[in-house]
């Protein structure tokens, strides 16, 4: 029996490492991982509920996912899976070599690669396809029998995987991938990978070799601390401080930065994926300006809600102010901060994670009891006013939730 080529095994291991890193840190909007919140002994924290995060742990941009639909341009029908990717994502090449595979990611096991022990060549304007011999030792949906790559609309590439049997509807421990730009002694320049998750089918493009995407994360996306507090007028303020001043206009190579505070309002893992509401300060390339937004889960994707979000950007600190009533809060919720990058055209946006705070888990917060206004008696009238200054939205004793 012939051994798997070394570059295929090493590429598989590297892709798994990238994927596990991204999933462990949390994808944010449309995340495929649904964390389990376990009981942790309460910690005595400052009443402002600040969260610190290590400096220098911002991720290198090596994994892109379609945004806002993780399953955009993905089709699963019977025994066939297809995905469309914009050619510009992988450097707009004129030609390359490629190979298709099925992978069991958790065990880092490459199950099948097609065509057997061969590379396929693709050039613009020409299809690239080949059959693959059946392997009865594999499950029907693991065994590739035909693969194809072709150009669509002169700007996108369609990858097709066909299996011996139907692809299961329920999540399974298997991914279908295409290794792009193979080198005999190295690995792929890029990998296109798709697979089923608890949150539905999704796909991504990674850069596991020496190639890189045209954008990357920056020091101003490296979170140092995050905070949330409530004022007496029913407003909730979120702040985030990063390792570098946030520019008035991000450079083109920075992509479109997003600063997000993710809230799991109902603490129900079966809804919201799992964060129900996201408070966002983002760069809008169309208006060439920063803007605030409140985004909610509609059962399939996140979308902007009709709610006002005031924001401020001062040096390395960005903040957002929302009405507590707009968030649907009752009693308490879980939250975490995240920085991310969106790149591409409006209809072909891709998401990449930069940093989370905390790095793992969530902060579980309990709303403080309602403030009682203090009447002020004057000679002519009684004025009701809230005491000045910040008031924490949370009790001084806070429980941190941890992703298990």
Contact criterion met (CB below 8 Å) for 144 and 129? no
pLDDT at residue 312, rounded to an integer: 97
Count CB atoms within 10 A of the CB of residue 384: 9
Fold of the CATH domain 34-61+215-401 = Immunoglobulin-like (2.60.40)
Q: Report the share of the chain in percent with pLDDT over 70.
A: 74
pLDDT higher at 245 or 370: 245
Model confidence band, residue 130 (pLDDT cutoffs 50, 70, 90) = very high
Confidence of residue 196 (pLDDT cuts 50, 70, 90): confident
- Position 39 pLDDT exceeds 60: no
Provide the b/e sequence for 2-15 (b: ≥16 CB within 10 Å).
eeebebbeebbebb
> If you average pLDDT over residues 338-343, what whole number do you get?
95
Cis amide linkage into residue 382, ω under 30° from 0: no
**C-beta separation of 155 from 87 below 8 A:** yes
Q: What are the extents of the domains in the chain?
A: 34-61+215-401, 71-206
> Of 315, 309, 319, 343, nearest to 259 (Cα)?
319
The answer to whether 192 and 85 have CB atoms below 8 angstroms apart is yes
User: CA-to-CA distance for 386 and 89, rounded, in angstroms?
Assistant: 53
| Maximum pairwise Cα distance, the chain | 97
- Output the CA–CA distances (angstroms, integers) from residue 181 to 11, 14, 139, 161, 285, in the order listed: 12, 15, 28, 18, 31
What percentage of residues in the chain have a pLDDT greater than 90? 48
User: CA-CA distance, 325 to 247, in Å (whole number)?
Assistant: 31
pLDDT digits (tens, 9 = 90+) for 246-268: 999 999 889 999 999 998 877 65
Query: What does the pLDDT average to over 188-196?
Result: 92
For 381-401, the pLDDT digits (tens) are 333 333 333 333 332 233 333
Closest CA to 193 of 388, 16, 387: 16
pLDDT band of residue 207 (cuts 50, 70, 90) is very high
pLDDT surpassing 70 at residue 184: no
Work out the pLDDT band at 51, boundaries 50, 70, 90: confident
The DSSP result for 346-363, as a single string, is GGG-EEEEEEEESSSSEE
**pLDDT tens digit string along 73-127?**
999 999 999 999 999 999 899 999 999 999 988 777 889 989 987 889 999 999 9
Q: What is the pLDDT of residues 24-38, one digit of tens each?
A: 334 566 443 333 222
């Amino acid at each position: 029996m012939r051994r798997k080529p070394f570059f295929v095994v090493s590429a598989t291991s590297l892709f798994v490492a990238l994927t596990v890193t991204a999933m462990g840190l949390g994808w944010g909007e449309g995340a495929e991982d649904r964390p389990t919140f376990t009981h942790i002994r309460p910690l005595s924290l400052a009443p402002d509920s600040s969260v610190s995060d290590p400096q220098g742990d911002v991720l290198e941009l090596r994994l892109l996912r379609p945004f806002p639909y993780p399953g955009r341009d993905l089709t699963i029908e019977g025994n066939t899976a297809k995905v469309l990717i914009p050619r510009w994502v992988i450097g707009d090449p004129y030609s390359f070599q490629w190979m298709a595979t099925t992978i069991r990611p958790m065990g880092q096991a490459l199950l099948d690669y097609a065509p057997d022990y061969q590379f396929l060549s693709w050039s613009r304007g020409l299809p690239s396809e080949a059959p693959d011999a059946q392997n009865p030792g594999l499950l029907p949906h693991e065994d590739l029998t035909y693969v194809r790559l072709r150009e669509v609309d002169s700007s996108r590439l369609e990858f097709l995987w066909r299996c011996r049997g139907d692809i299961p509807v329920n999540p399974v421990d298997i991914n279908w991938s295409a290794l792009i730009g193979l080198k005999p002694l190295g690995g792929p320049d890029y990998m296109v990978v798709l697979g089923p998750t608890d949150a539905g089918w999704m796909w991504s493009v990674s850069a596991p070799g020496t190639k890189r995407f045209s954008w990357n994360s920056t020091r101003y996306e490296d979170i140092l601390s995050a905070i949330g507090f409530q004022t007496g007028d029913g407003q909730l303020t979120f702040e985030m401080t990063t390792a570098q001043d946030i520019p008035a206009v991000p450079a083109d190579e920075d992509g479109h930065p997003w600063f997000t505070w993710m809230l799991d309002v109902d603490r129900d893992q079966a809804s919201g994926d799992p964060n129900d509401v996201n408070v966002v300060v983002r760069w809008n390339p169309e208006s060439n300006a920063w803007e605030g937004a409140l985004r909610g889960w509609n059962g399939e994707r996140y979308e902007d809600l009709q709610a006002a979000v005031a924001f401020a950007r001062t040096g390395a600190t960005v903040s957002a102010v929302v009405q507590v009533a707009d968030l649907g809060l009752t009693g308490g919720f879980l939250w975490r901060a995240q920085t991310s990058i969106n790149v591409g055209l409006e209809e072909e946006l891709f998401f990449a994670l930069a940093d989370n705070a905390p790095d793992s888990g969530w902060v579980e917060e309990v709303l403080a009891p309602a403030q009682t206004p203090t009447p002020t008696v004057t000679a002519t009238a009684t004025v009701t006013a809230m005491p000045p200054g910040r008031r924490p939205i949370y009790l001084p004793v806070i429980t941190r939730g941890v992703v298990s």
